[in-house]
Amino acid sequence: MTCRILSEPICCACSLAGQGYPAKQECGIPLPFRRAYGAVPSLVSCLRRLWDGPAKSYSLVKIMESGILYRNLLDKLDFKTSDMPYGDSSDDIGIASCNFTQHFSKSDSGAITCFISDIDERQIIKDAIQEYAYLNVNLKPNVRSSITIQGEFIKFTIRRYLLTPVSQEDRSRLFQLEGRYGVHPLDKLIGIANLPFKITVNAMLKVCEKAQEARSFLAASNNLRDDCDIKLDACTVSDVTSHVGNIVFQHDMEKAEHIHKLSLDGTLPFPAEKYSGVLYLQADGAMVHTREKTNDDSDSGWREHKLGMVFDSGHMLNMIRKNRHVKERIQHKILKKEYSSNIGSATEFGKLFFENAYRNGYGTFQNTVVLSDGADWISNMVLVFFPDAEHILDYHHVSEKILDLGKLYFKKDQVACGKWCARICDEILESGYDRIRQEIVKLERPLKTIKVSGFLDKNFNIIDYKSYLKSGYCIDSGALEGSNMNIVRNRLKISGMRWNLASAQALAILRCKKESHRWHSDVVNPVRKKYELPCI
């Protein structure tokens, strides 16, 4: 009896007698694999299900990343045979939840290489030539070349044949069909044909996780080498991060476009009864230096990165704080928040922000509050996407404007400046802007360099802090300012950095997903789905 995939005969597993298998019962595992991995009963059972059961479509890379190809599994993990968790379908086959792949050793890469080298390519090549002949592409065997695949825990090298077109017409037709001039049939069989950068999907995700948390791609490359034994240069780390980040961004845009279309059609579902509480939406921008320039000579390449944050009052802790200049105030600590990121138009960001808000309960809370610094693009976005929300000008920006005016007027008299600023801020909070407007205008006249009154006049309708505080609303966006520092400035605005727009967007959205605690659902699963791996 021979394996339908390998040319090697199937083992009769006589040596398994006394280990849970009757004498001379066929185990169903190809001999090369049995030689490499021994006769561990539960592992043999699991592998038999992979080759002959419902998971027979699993490629070797999928099996490897699920933690199945593991030598001396029971000994190293101290698991009993009866304790081995097995799934009943191809989606949960194996024992990935136990993270067995962390125990891979270097000898396993040799075993995998030996296992693949025992595959008979003759029938595979014959089937591939016949398959492409139906597409009017004639192929012929050519050279045999090597390829090294980097996994999350191991690296293995294989040699396989290349099929090349017979004529120039076949060459052109193959390029039109698949965008390449040659075919490796073995790559398709073991699931590495479409892997970019010659690394597996799990390895790409590990690279991105290290890249988004490091200060540079070079630092990420060093961390990968030291922590994960993955040796990639900084350029490859950058390319992998951009590739994965763009997949995540496109996935987010597809969801945002879908939700926006439902909203325009009036078919977006909302509950009949709204929950008590407040949904907070905060948006701000930070400039990022890019290599993208227009024909305008004044264009220095700076582009605005728009960042949005969504949280609700149910995930806030209220704390009472005091300081020298301002009376006792309630400050807030946010326990759960999610971010949206975009380096593009305000409309595109609005769609992403709206999807984020809807996912977190927009339309289900009794009140929605938008906090901003008064930028025009945010005000327009609120009118288009959140017309029922209460728009509030960030109190922190107002107090900063007043402090700047006080410093210019009082100059070196810090005591007088502090007292005046504290009194003006108290008046704005307790009595409103009308009572102190004339006093601010009077101080501005001799200076002629700052226009606090113009800024407050422009945003007059969104600075009624007395009523906001009475309603229990948060009136400052300090949390978003800190997030902007953490997500954007500490990674994308380091001295000397300039970015391609796609690379900057990819890295920014990966950092947002990590800070939002949505790495698994919004990064891992979309990328695995793109490469036809089961979501986990």
| pLDDT confidence of residue 70 | 33
User: For the chain, how far is it from start to end, CA to CA, in angstroms?
Assistant: 36
Mean pLDDT across 456-483: 89
Identify the pLDDT of residue 296: 72
Stated length of the chain: 536
Strand partners, 499: 290
> What span, in angstroms and rounded, lies between the C-alpha atoms of 310 and 409?
38
DSSP 119: S
Q: Which residues contact 394 (CB under 8 A, 6 or more apart)?
A: 371, 372, 373, 374, 475, 476, 477
pLDDT in tens, 420-443: 999 998 889 887 888 888 888 888
Q: Assign 446 a pLDDT band (cuts: 50, 70, 90).
A: confident
Phi, psi of 379 (to 5 degrees): -60, -40
CA angle 169, 171, 173 (to 5 degrees): 70
How would residue 115 be classed by pLDDT, with cut points 50, 70 and 90?
A: low
How far apart CA 407 and CA 416 sit, in angstroms, is: 10
Which tokens belong to 139? Answer: 């192929």
pLDDT tens for 228-260 read 888 999 999 999 999 999 999 999 999 999 999
Average pLDDT of the residues in 144-150:
86
- Alpha-helical segments (H) within 316-474: 346-359, 376-385, 395-410, 414-430, 437-444, 452-458, 465-470
Averaged pLDDT for residues 208-231: 93
Rg (CA), the chain: 31
At 36, which helix (H) or strand (E)? helix 31-37
Contacts 24+ apart (CB under 8 A), 78-87: 81/20, 81/41, 81/42, 84/42, 84/46, 86/45, 86/46, 86/49
The predicted pLDDT at position 151 comes to 81
Residue predicted with more confidence, 29 or 249: 249
pLDDT digits (tens, 9 = 90+) for 46-100: 444 444 444 344 455 554 444 443 323 322 322 223 333 333 333 332 333 233 3
Nearest to 528 by CA among 205, 121, 212: 205
* Cα 132 → chain centroid: 37
pTM comes to: 0.78
Residue 533's φ and ψ, nearest 5 degrees, are -105, 150
Percentage of the chain beyond pLDDT 70 is 75
Q: What SS3 class is residue 183?
A: strand
Whether the pLDDT of residue 124 is over 80: the answer is yes
CA distance 344 to 468: 32
Quick check: 325 and 421 in contact, CB under 8 A? yes
Distance CA 536, CA 523 (A): 11
pLDDT at 157: 82
pLDDT at 499: 93
Per-residue confidence (pLDDT) for residue 358, from 0 to 100: 95
What does the DSSP 8-state code read for residue 519?
Answer: H
How many whole angstroms separate alpha carbon 253 and alpha carbon 458?
33
Higher pLDDT, 518 or 42: 518
Q: What is the pLDDT of residue 79?
A: 28
Residue 391 clears pLDDT 80, i.e. is over it: yes
- Alpha-carbon distance 61 to 69, whole Å? 10
How much is the pLDDT for 50? 43
Q: Quick check: 121 and 161 in contact, CB under 8 A?
A: yes
pLDDT reported for residue 46: 45
Answer with the residue of higher pLDDT: 107 or 209.
209
Average pLDDT over residues 125-152: 90
Per-residue confidence at 28, pLDDT binned at 50, 70, 90?
very low
